[in-house]
Amino acid sequence: MEILAIVADIHADRETALRTLLDRLKRTPRKLFKKFKTLHFASFVIFDAEALGRSPAKLVFDFTVDDGQAEAFVAECESNPTIQGIFGHCVDCQPLTGYLWRRKRRPQLYHIGTPYRTAASIRADRALRLRLERRLFASHRLTELLGQRPAGMLEYWNWEVLQPWVALFLGLIVVTVAPIFFVKLWRADYRRSLKAILGLLEAIVAAGGLVGARSLWLTAVPLLRDRVKAWIPWLAAGGAVAVLVKWFWLDHPWWSIGLATLFGILLAFGVYNAAGQRRNERLAEIRPADDTRAIVREWNRLLKVHGEGDEPPALWRRLWNFRWWAGSYAVVWGGLWLADLAGGRPLTVAVLSALFFAKAVWLQVLVGWPARGRWLGFSGKGAAFIAAVTLGATILFLALTTITLPRYGLAFIVLVAIFALWGVPLESPQGEPFELTRRKKAALADHEDHDVQNHMTACVVLKDSDRPIRSFLRLLVLRTFLAINNLIFFRAWLPDVCKGKLFMLPTVHAAQWLILDKRNYLFLSNYDLSWTTYLDDFGLALGQGILKIWGQGRNNPGVTDLAAFKDFARSTMVPWSLWYQAYPGLTVRQIWNNETIRRGVVSGAEEEAIARVIRRFGAAPTIPADLVAHARVN
Amino acid sequence: MPESIEHPLWEDMQGLILSAYPHLDRARYLLFTIENAAAARGWLARIQPHVTNAFKKQEPDGSLHRDRPNMNVNIALTAPGLAKMCGLTGNEPPDGLAQHLRGFSDAFVEGIHGREHRLRILGNVGNSAPEHWDWGGTKPGTRPAHLLLMVFADGDAAALQAAVDAVMPPFNAMTPVGTLPPTLPLDEAGGREHFGFADGLSQPILAGSHDAKRFPDSAHITALGEFVFGYANQDDQPASPSDDPCERLRDNGSYLVFCQFEQDVNGFWNCVDEAAAANGVANPHAAEQLASKIVGRLPDGTPLVPYANRNDNEFDYTEDPYGYGCPIGAHIRRSNPRDTTDPLHRNRHRILRRGRSYGPRASHPREAVGQERGLFFMCLNTDLERQFEFIQQNWTNNPGFSGLSDECDPLIGAESCPMGRGTFTIQGLPAPARLTTLPRFIRVRGAQYFFLPGIQALHALAKGECRANP
């Protein structure tokens, strides 16, 4: 899917007429857009002089179309009489040919929840599902299900299962490696001060590891955690055996190798047996007692109805998306390598420390520092943060100049430190009070919740936009942040690894951040379920990330008080004038679910896989007790 | 100023916050329009001693002394009612009201019927729309509801009548808004609502309460600020950061959602019987099992998840991820998805339910009684939009709830759900099954948002001061 916006200035005296026209069209958006087969979502929004802070008012036409279809779609729009009529209210719109395409604006950051999908295939998948459903639900099996009790949780091999293991091993590594390091450090021939610094660093890393392991453990699915618990004595015993082997047969590696091999064979045998047993249990679970072949029979009935849909692009094309990701790494690593070659170690660490420091300051600017007052009039907490970062950079510098580590080790430490810095919870900036009338809230709400899909249109005013130098700097920071995120994360990671799940929240069909001018930036989003849920999900799951973008907005109160943040977001919103959805009623989750059903039906499968596909007719799957389980797509 | 969470000011809260008064069998709910504010204030001052607070005396040995009077009285006001007590006319438009009732939320000021969007998300449409309500709505000829008087008493009908007479306002002060049907005495109800299912089983536990000390590991312990103004809420945000005396009027109070739901008991069981009969094998328990699937519990209250018994409220849905036991769209799973939602931010959408049934109880659920039956639904919360309305919109009436498509709560939401098709999917093996064209089994006969003030706030209101006492 491709996402674009067309921004046009409205004639000063034709704004009212345009509103009247859009009001009339608003009731029947399908009539206007139905013939555009590649279109997913489209909307017209008028941002008036009041919202923008200056004349003229602007008409924003934002749309999402199939991959590679944007230009063709715009050309088709230009020849459509109704759309010609709409843009007829704009400045210099004659002739319309080429007018729209010239006024297109690419978003600085955009997200697509169903990458590589075409509108036609999404609709076809739903049609297929409905056809299959009719067959599936036509038979009388209600009473069979009534007395059924769940057999318990089926096995998953994904993050849920891995999480307690990862937590356990992370904890084990910290507990075993940290003391070894301390002992080595204690015996090492370093200066006392250096030992203290390194010891402190190590303690921080170890504490971080333990905290991380603990939180992973606590948020794991309890049932799966219990399974891991059962292994802890075995692991402890294995560890003890290993220590003993090392202790007594240090000079006789043949024995230890022999023991390890034996242990390995036993383990492999055990795993093989356990897997086989597990599989038999699973089959027993999906087969009703009276008819072992019911699932296969069900499947054969369904196979008579099937459809076709789009395939994800070839591997090379998906890999191509990672060019920015790879490129950015190449820049960092290459720079380090060159610095090391050119000037020896001190230059390397100087570069690293500078990088670390710059990142910290940048983060500060992103979340809105300085929140108010003069550039140097930062708050006590801001000063403490800067001081801590300076200290951290100095410690890093000292540690790296004295310790003997390969340069990749150094680079790794710095990268980890930079990522760790990203997670520092910074205080929300203090916002000035903003105006949000009851009437505005009502006007916005009236547009919402007519369907499971909703549309959000907001115009955020950049902080300090009335001060040229500061607004220039802030805009630069925002642009850089959005662009880096867009290229490195949203374009590479999200579509191909996360399959469109934005931080595991599959509720956004398409969203874009667009910097309109020096004062305003727009947020346009097509999302699922209610606005409150949408903002709650994101406010709770990635408050700091949100803060980095919304935090650039004037009067933003931060996300610490979610209710205040929601009011602020409401205050920036402008009701849309016309909105079209190509497949109303479908959530992102259902689109994925329908696709999986289609694939399952087309491919044919063995008994377990059949059971999984048929289960999807009951509900799109979800795994409870996960961090954001309610929104999970498998 | 309310004290810290360790020492909530129970004595300044109305008793309904802490208890549904299970020891008082009978209750009468009376709605009034305030005609003469001065007379109403006089009445309020006079009955102050009768208003029950939530304080429980502690014995010297540390045990709780349950002071169980045989009569309890609680009072709640709508936004216009509150305005009227504060000397306004009560007919102001919402903008005007909002200006005077500072600190009160838009939802409360606008009222449950105030906006088309709210009606839509709450499912108050069709024949449940406010133009058909007997009270609280926009039906021509109905008086506005200003004050809700709740009288609870032990003993027989005469005892209840005596209790009501003792606190009845004089006619020059307030006139009744219709007559709400009498509630079903608890001993007759036997802990079940009219469809025949145990009700009111899962409640949040107030942090700082005695129950929270008894069950310190419960997943249901919820910050007091979610239900009482003036305390930190589940987000650790103090609900009342203001020193504005007008806003402080909320302290130790709570919003009370009061709805009258008529239950179509015969319709429900006919529908279930037909569906069970149309689906093949003669199974004498099929109808009851099907009804249980709709509710998510057996009639005695046992949840349909593995390893849970009827007294267990600490169960969650980890063990039943696919809904093979308790269907994903079942009533209890929709109205409280427990661990299915974000476990780190659990209990952000809880309500304290205090409802009672009304209308006669038949000896058998399928028996027709020829009289209206239903439930006075009452719930307490401090953020109507994040709690009561959220549950209704995002869980009960959400067609895409938890991966489902195009269906709403089969018990209370179906058909009214603007996008649903009256369907209910029952997950199971080898394949799911589906009920279609379910009608809606409840009908809203009246509803409104009330405010249940703290005791001090009631004192202030009785004096005509629209502000908290210094």
Per-residue pLDDT tens over the stretch A194-217: 888 888 888 888 888 888 888 888
Residue located via tokens 């200056």: A54
* Residue A630 pLDDT greater than 50, yes or no: no
More confident site: A481 or A395:
A481
Alpha carbons A612 and A591: distance in angstroms, whole number: 17
* Residue A170 pLDDT greater than 60, yes or no: yes
Q: B346: pLDDT confidence band, cut at 50, 70 and 90? A: confident
ipTM value: 0.86
Interface A-B, measured as beta-carbon pairs within 8 A, has a size of 224
Average pLDDT, chain A: 76
B409 domain-assigned: yes
Alpha carbons A178 and A174: distance in angstroms, whole number: 5
Nearest to B345 by CA among A29, A626, A19, A199: A626
For residues A148-170, average pLDDT: 66
Q: Most A CBs within 10 Å: which of B322, B384, B407, as the mutation test of the A interface?
A: B322
pLDDT reported for residue A171: 87
Angle in degrees, 0-180, between the axes of helices A543-550 and A468-484, rounded to the nearest 10: 140
Residue located via tokens 């995002």: B394
Region at B296 (left for phi over 0; alpha for psi -120 to 50; beta for the rest): left
Alpha carbons A530 and A512: distance in angstroms, whole number: 19
Q: A629: pLDDT confidence band, cut at 50, 70 and 90? A: very low
Alpha carbons B141 and B134: distance in angstroms, whole number: 10
B84 domain-assigned: no
Give the chain A residue nearest B95 (alpha carbons): A438
**Interchain pair B280, A452: CB under 8 A:** no
Per-residue pLDDT tens over the stretch B401-410: 888 888 889 9
Q: B469: pLDDT confidence band, cut at 50, 70 and 90? A: very low
Give the chain A residue nearest B323 (alpha carbons): A150
- Rounded to the nearest 5 degrees, what angle is found at the Cα of A503, between the Cα atoms of A501 and A504? 50
Alpha carbons B324 and A148: distance in angstroms, whole number: 7
A224 to chain B, closest Cα gap in Å: 10
Output phi, psi for A618, to 5 deg: -75, -45
By residue range, what is the domain housing residue B398?
260-446
**Interchain pair A618, B425: CB under 8 A:** yes
**Interchain pair A219, B400: CB under 8 A:** no
Query: What's the total number of domains in chain B?
Result: 1
* Residue A282 pLDDT greater than 70, yes or no: no
For residues A444-448, average pLDDT: 90
B398 domain-assigned: yes
**Which residues make beta-bridge pairs with B151?**
B28, B73
* Residue B431 pLDDT greater than 50, yes or no: yes
pLDDT reported for residue B468: 44
Q: How far is CA B215 from the centre of its chain?
A: 23
Q: A483: pLDDT confidence band, cut at 50, 70 and 90? A: confident
* Residue A261 pLDDT greater than 70, yes or no: no
* Residue B445 pLDDT greater than 90, yes or no: yes
pLDDT reported for residue B458: 92
**Interchain pair A540, B400: CB under 8 A:** no
Q: A50: pLDDT confidence band, cut at 50, 70 and 90? A: confident
In chain B the first and final C-alpha atoms are separated, in Å, by: 9
Q: A631: pLDDT confidence band, cut at 50, 70 and 90? A: very low
For residues A10-23, average pLDDT: 92
Average pLDDT, chain B: 85
Q: Most A CBs within 10 Å: which of B317, B342, B396, as the mutation test of the A interface?
A: B342
Per-residue pLDDT tens over the stretch A300-357: 766 665 555 566 677 777 777 777 777 767 766 666 666 666 555 666 667 766 776 6
B40 domain-assigned: no
Lowest mean pLDDT among A183-197, A278-292, B42-56, B180-194: A278-292
pLDDT reported for residue A407: 57
Alpha carbons B39 and B37: distance in angstroms, whole number: 5
Grouping H, G, I as helix, E, B as strand and the rest as coil, residue A56 is coil
Query: Is the CB of A441 inside 8 Å of chain B's CB atoms?
Result: yes
Per-residue pLDDT tens over the stretch B274-303: 888 876 656 778 888 899 999 999 998 889
Q: A450: pLDDT confidence band, cut at 50, 70 and 90? A: confident
Nearest to B323 by CA among A506, A625, A151, A161: A151
Angle in degrees, 0-180, between the axes of helices A294-303 and A119-138, rounded to the nearest 10: 130
Q: What residue spans of A515-587 are helical by DSSP H? A: 531-541, 543-550, 562-572
Alpha carbons B13 and B2: distance in angstroms, whole number: 11
Query: Quick one: tokens of A630?
Result: 């309610």
Query: Is the CB of A623 inside 8 Å of chain B's CB atoms?
Result: yes
Alpha carbons B235 and B32: distance in angstroms, whole number: 36
Using a 10 angstrom Cβ sphere, with 0-12 exposed, 13-18 middle and 19 or more buried, the burial of residue B4 is exposed
Alpha carbons A10 and A58: distance in angstroms, whole number: 5
Give the chain A residue nearest B434 (alpha carbons): A137
Q: B1: pLDDT confidence band, cut at 50, 70 and 90? A: very low
Pairing of strands B374-381, B356-358: antiparallel
More confident site: A397 or B363:
B363
Cα distances from A560 to residues A425, A563, B233, B258, in angstroms, run: 10, 9, 13, 32
Alpha carbons A199 and A454: distance in angstroms, whole number: 53
For residues A461-484, average pLDDT: 82
* Residue A60 pLDDT greater than 50, yes or no: yes
More confident site: A383 or A516:
A516
Question: Which residues of chain B have a CB within 8 Å of the CB of A561?
Answer: 235, 237
Show which of residues 266-295 on chain A sit within 8 Å of chain B, judged by CB atoms.
Answer: 285-288, 291, 294-295
Q: A545: pLDDT confidence band, cut at 50, 70 and 90? A: low
**Interchain pair B429, A145: CB under 8 A:** yes
pLDDT reported for residue B239: 53
For residues B48-75, average pLDDT: 72
Query: Is the CB of A529 inside 8 Å of chain B's CB atoms?
Result: yes
Contact at 8 Å (CB) between A57 and A17? no
Q: A139: pLDDT confidence band, cut at 50, 70 and 90? A: low
Contact at 8 Å (CB) between B20 and B376? no
Q: Percentage of chain A surpassing pLDDT 90?
A: 17
Alpha carbons B232 and B236: distance in angstroms, whole number: 5
pLDDT reported for residue A206: 85
pLDDT reported for residue A372: 43
Per-residue pLDDT tens over the stretch B83-124: 998 888 878 888 888 888 888 888 999 999 988 899 988 988
pLDDT reported for residue A137: 82
Give the chain B residue nearest A621 (alpha carbons): B403
Give the chain B residue nearest A140 (alpha carbons): B279
Alpha carbons B396 and B388: distance in angstroms, whole number: 11
B286 domain-assigned: yes
Residue located via tokens 């009160």: B104
Alpha carbons B266 and B263: distance in angstroms, whole number: 9
Using a 10 angstrom Cβ sphere, with 0-12 exposed, 13-18 middle and 19 or more buried, the burial of residue A271 is exposed
* Residue B78 pLDDT greater than 90, yes or no: yes
Residue located via tokens 């034709």: A14
* Residue A542 pLDDT greater than 70, yes or no: no
B412 domain-assigned: yes
B284 domain-assigned: yes
A264 to chain B, closest Cα gap in Å: 33
Question: Which residues of chain B have a CB within 8 Å of the CB of A439?
Answer: 95
pLDDT reported for residue A534: 82
B359 domain-assigned: yes
Nearest to B186 by CA among B151, B152, B149, B150: B152
Nearest to B464 by CA among B38, B97, B19, B130: B38
The pTM of the full predicted model, rounded to 2 decimals, is: 0.81
Per-residue pLDDT tens over the stretch A380-411: 556 666 666 666 666 666 666 665 556 556 66
Give the chain A residue nearest B283 (alpha carbons): A143
Q: A64: pLDDT confidence band, cut at 50, 70 and 90? A: very high
Q: Most B CBs within 10 Å: which of A142, A214, A589, A630, as the mutation test of the B interface?
A: A142
Q: B417: pLDDT confidence band, cut at 50, 70 and 90? A: low
**Interchain pair B121, A621: CB under 8 A:** no
Lowest mean pLDDT among A50-59, A410-419, A439-448: A410-419
**Interchain pair A630, B428: CB under 8 A:** no
Contact at 8 Å (CB) between B71 and B152? yes
Q: Most A CBs within 10 Å: which of B271, B318, B383, as the mutation test of the A interface?
A: B318
Q: Percentage of chain A surpassing pLDDT 70?
A: 65
pLDDT reported for residue B446: 94
* Residue B68 pLDDT greater than 60, yes or no: no
More confident site: A363 or B328:
B328
Alpha carbons B434 and A141: distance in angstroms, whole number: 9
**Most confident by average pLDDT, A234-238, A466-470, A518-522, A531-535:** A518-522
| DSSP structure class, residue B73 | E
Lowest mean pLDDT among B47-56, B173-182, B193-202: B47-56
For residues A118-123, average pLDDT: 88
Contact at 8 Å (CB) between A578 and A597? no
Contacts of A573 (CB under 8 A, 6+ apart): A444, A456, A457, A458
